[in-house]
Every structure is written in C-alpha cells, then in structure tokens.
Amino acid sequence: MFNAIKEIFQYRDLLMMLTMRDLRVRYKQASMGFLWAIFMPVVAVCAGILIKKAMAVVSQQPLELESIISITVKTLPWTFFISSIRFSVQALVGNSSLVTKIYFPRAVLVLSSILACLFDFAVAMAVVIVLLAIFKVGVSIYLLWAPLLLVLLVLYTFGLGLILSAANLFYRDIKYVVEIILMFGIFFTPVFFSASDFGRWKPLLLVNPIGSILEECDRVVVLHQMPDLFWLSYAVITSLLVLYLGIAVFHKAEPLFAENI
C-alpha cells in the first residue's frame, strides 16, 4: 500500500493537472459556474428539511433549529461522497485514451476525480460556515476532530472508488448498479435523521462507515461533544481496510486495463 501511495506522490504534478482538467471540463460551459458546487447540497438539504418537517408533524413535535443545522452539516460530506463515487466509477473508462497510450499509476485518474469533488466540497463548506456563523452555532475544542473525519471520508471514498472503477472497466453495468445504490443509500444512512432515533437499531445504521463518519461530524460540529471513540475507531479501521483492499485489487487488475478497456 505504501509503495502505491509513494508512486502516486511521484506523479503529483500529473495528479494536479488531471484535477484541474476535470474542474475546467465541469465548469467550462456551466452558466451558473461555481454555484453548481452548492446547488446539489442545497437541494439535498431542502429535501431533508421537508422529510424532517413531515416526521415532526406526524409525531406532533416541533422542528428544532438544531435538527436543520444537523441535516445541513451531514448533507455536505454525503454529497461529496456520492459525487466522488459517481465520477470515480467512470474514471478509467472515461480516460481510455490515456490508459492505453502512456504509463502512469492509473489510480491517479480515480484520485483526481475525488480531488475535483473535494474542491466542490470546499466551496460548499465555505457557504455552510457562513450559515453556521449566522445562526450562532458556535465552536468548541471538539471541532479539531473534523479534519480527521474528513481524511477518513476521503480515504474510504478513494478505496471504494478504486474497486468500483476497476470493476466498471471489466463489467460496464457496474455503474448502473452503483447509481441505484447511491439513489437509495441516503435512506439507510443517517443524513436526514440521527442514528439515535432508531434506538436499539442504531448499530445497524452505524455499521455503514459513512454513517459512522456523518454521526461523528454531527457530534463535533453541532452538538459540541467528544466523538464516540468506539465508532470513531470503527471508522478508522474500516476506512484503512477499504483503502488497502482498494489498492490491492486495483494494483492486481491494472496490467489488464489496456487490453480490456
């Protein structure tokens, strides 16, 4: 794993060039420009608020501001995850001319897709920070855990992206399966709700590493609490495990990419 990461670092200039290319292609003829970076999170947040409001009406409980802020904070990394996976799945097939002509670590193509989505995440994050300041959410020492959670999210996404991009190169219908899973995945991930709302069923939601990361984001950013060390440790272990598995699978399949693409 460390050799693969070292090789990617050696091609960091190419990585930056591919990332900038992806961003230019994405925004070249977009009339809204960088507003698209916040459009998807805004739509997702509005959908979450509507669902939360409906649940509040049914339960005859008021919709609290903290719930809205929680949805907003968790929606941002969720949209980063799903957009990164969507672009990662197509990273090899969409760059077939590069894969077949010159040598470079093909994992760079997957990582550049994720970094481009990370740029969108940063733009949307700037807007969310302003909103948090307006609503006087405040900060605490526990906010220092947020960078670690973001790193775990990126590592998990990268590992999963490597596996799915390689699988999609050999089996082109993988991208359709991924789209279906991502479409319904939000209903099984604590984005619009809290895992604690489900009582004894809470662990089932947190077994999903993305669910664990989102819940810990909510704890450190909105609730100003110490992360749950058990689920944080679980997220660390699963993220590193998926990254290792992704690099191993990708590296083993890489020699076959050119002849099968």
Q: Report domain extents, the chain.
A: 2-260
Q: Kindly tell me if the per-residue pLDDT of 199 is higher than 80.
A: no
Confidence of residue 23 (pLDDT cuts 50, 70, 90): confident
**Least confident residue range of 2-6, 237-241, 256-260:** 2-6
Residue 143 has pLDDT above 70, yes or no: yes
Give me the DSSP letters along 32-99.
Answer: TGGGHHHHHHHHHHHHHHHHHHHHHHHHT----HHHHHHHHHHHHHHHHHHHHHHHHHTTTGGGHHHH
How far apart CA 227 and CA 142 sit, in angstroms, is: 8
Q: Regarding predicted confidence, which is higher, 245 or 54?
A: 245
Q: Examine the pLDDT at 165 and tell me if it is beyond 70.
A: yes
Give per-residue pLDDT as tens, 109-142.
999 999 999 998 998 888 888 877 777 777 889 9
Residue 159's pLDDT is what?
96
The tens digit of pLDDT for each residue in 216-227 reads: 999 999 888 999
Query: Residue 34 — very low, low, confident or very high, per pLDDT cuts 50/70/90?
Result: low
Q: For the chain, what is the mean pLDDT?
A: 87
Residue 36: closest CA among 20, 21, 47, 25: 25
**Mean pLDDT across 202-207:** 87
